[in-house]
Structure 1
């Protein structure tokens, strides 16, 4: 368990220092985390709406931060190119995210091809029923995406890495709230990029 937690902390630390230097991105992750917690609270009472909130609000804010605001040039703090960071990323890098988001965006069109989703659903008669069906499709994609990458990591890394990553993803909302609750205040002061002094300090301690 100690080794598991150490690996979890390492994945979280690398995720923060490599991919969350923009204060806008951090703020969007804070908003995303709040949305995910709302979705978590609804997962058993209204899973379709939970999936809609998770994808539209939480994933929308979260991924827009990565795609549009996070610096993608040379990382002076970590002395790494963006290409290197994308290559070593444990979870979904930008290319993998494009594929996942494309599947999410295109998935509702399956109901135009087959209103019963090939016999899995009853044809919707109302807008609410249609939204519920879309939500359930999105919930399936979320679970499938999580399990697919977890099992993929089993083969390309090891089982522990996959299980740690899955745990990280599921607990990210709580961690992001704790990590980035100050980001909106820094942003309002005009600080667009986190100076990452704590990262530099950590590197100095390691090399000392």
Structure 2
């Protein structure tokens, strides 16, 4: 258990110091985390509507922060190039995220063009039922996306790395609230980039 918790702390720390320099990105992660926490509660009421919130608000805000606001130049804090960080990323790097988000965008189109989903489901009779079907499709995508990368990490690294990553992903909303609740305040002060003095690599 000690090794597991240490690996979890390492993955969380690397994710923060490598991929969350932008205060806008941090603020969007706060919005994402709060939305995810509501979605977690909704899962027990209706998984479809939970997925609609999770993918429609939480994931879009989270990934927008990474794609549009996070710096991609040389990382002087960690003395690493963007390419190096992408290569060692444990979870979904930007290239993998493009594939995941493409699947997310394609599913509603597929359901609109084929409401029975190749005969697997009853066709939606109205927009509410269509939205519910989209939500269930997105819920399934979330489960598959999490499971696929976890199993992939079993092969690429080891079982613990995969389980640690899955645990990190599922608990990120709680951790992000604690980590980034001050980010909007920094933005209001005009600070666009977190100087990250706690993560500075000493010069040699």
TM range (shorter): over 0.9
CA shift for structure 1 position 44? 1.8
Match of 2:190, SS state, is coil
Q: How many residues align?
A: 204
- In the TM superposition, residue 154 of structure 1 has moved relative to its aligned partner by 0.4
Deviations along 1:11-51, whole A, 9 cap, x unmatched?
00000000000000000000000000000000021111100
RMSD over equivalenced CA pairs, Å: 1.3
Q: Indicate whether 1:150 and 2:150 are aligned.
A: yes
Q: For residues 84 and 32 of structure 1, what CA distance do their matches in structure 2 show?
A: 26
In the aligned structure 2, how far is the partner of 1:142 from the partner of 1:115?
20
Gaps of at least 5 residues in structure 1 are: none
Distance 1:156 1:13 in 2: 21
Q: Give the structure-1-normalised TM-score.
A: 0.95
Moved over 2 A (4+): none
Q: How far, CA to CA, are the matches of 2:74 and 2:173 in structure 1?
A: 28
**Aligned pairs (5 A) from 1:31-180:** 31-180=31-180
Deviations 1:29-74, CA, capped at 9 Å, x for gaps: 0000000000000002111110010001000110000000000000
CA distance in 1: counterparts of 2:171 and 2:9, whole angstroms:
12
Moved more, 120-129 or 172-181: 120-129
Unaligned regions of 5+ residues in structure 2, if any?
A: none
Give the structure 2 partner of residue 15 of structure 1. 15
